[in-house]
Amino acid sequence: MGKYEIQHAITQVIENGGKAFVPYIMAGDGGLSQLKEQLLFLQEAGATVVELGIPFSDPVADGPTIEEAGQRALKNGTTLRGVLKELASFRNEINIPIVLMTYINPIYKYGLDTFFAHCEQSGVDGLIIPDVPLEQRDLIQDELEKTNIALIQLVTLTSPIERIEKLAEASEGFLYAVTVTGITGARSAVSEKLESFIFTLKKHSKVPVLAGFGISTPDQVKEIAAFGDGVIVGSRIVDLLHKGKREEIQKLIDASSSVHYS
């Protein structure tokens, strides 16, 4: 497993004529004992990769839905160490790549060397760390290089072309195109700039380009997936999973498979 598994999984979907779908869920929302069943459900439903959030007390990139899920998970006693231990116990039953989304503070508290070693042991394929910008990658680079784990970069609508080029060059697994200016959360409209933004990213990126933040309906999945290589859906998935509306999650995933690669 590792960075190449993420890219391979996305490429395979594209070669089969579809687009990738990456759901985000909050580890420990509903109890950590539910994690295995939640991941198996998403795998069966057709998810390409799963982004697994770690609850944190100060989630600067997250909107209210994910923040509330994080608070529920923290109240359940969920910790980064606990998530990795739980994941390790059943990882061989999950066939799709898993990307961990966390912040630098929990990693530092864990201990860099131990964290990366436990990530590999738990079958983590990639990492998203929103509060470690490219300029501060050196904070984790030495330990990261000892693993086969991808560090996925986020690039925003406001990024200048020079920065887009650097982020596209550095990103592993896929490049995360942030579709809104602001925090995560469902939006009713899609930015008019988005198509040209994703086109620019695809021109510079050596890895697939996936769009996320603010995608909440099957129609938005279809519209945005048509621009790039796939979509990431977080807040809407978290909300539907919490409310037990799994058929709605299936509709979102199915929407991505109905978009043909162009």
What positions carry a catalytic annotation? Answer: 51, 62
* 103, 130 Cβ separation under 8 angstroms: yes
* 70, 27 Cβ separation under 8 angstroms: no
Facing residues of 233 across strands?
A: 23
> 3-class SS at 151?
strand
> 3-class SS at 158?
coil
Q: How far is the CA of 124 from the CAs of 3, 57, 149, 174, in angstroms?
A: 9, 22, 7, 15
Name the DSSP class of 58: -
> 3-class SS at 206?
coil
**What angle, rounded to 10 degrees, do the helices at 35-45 and 246-257 form?**
40
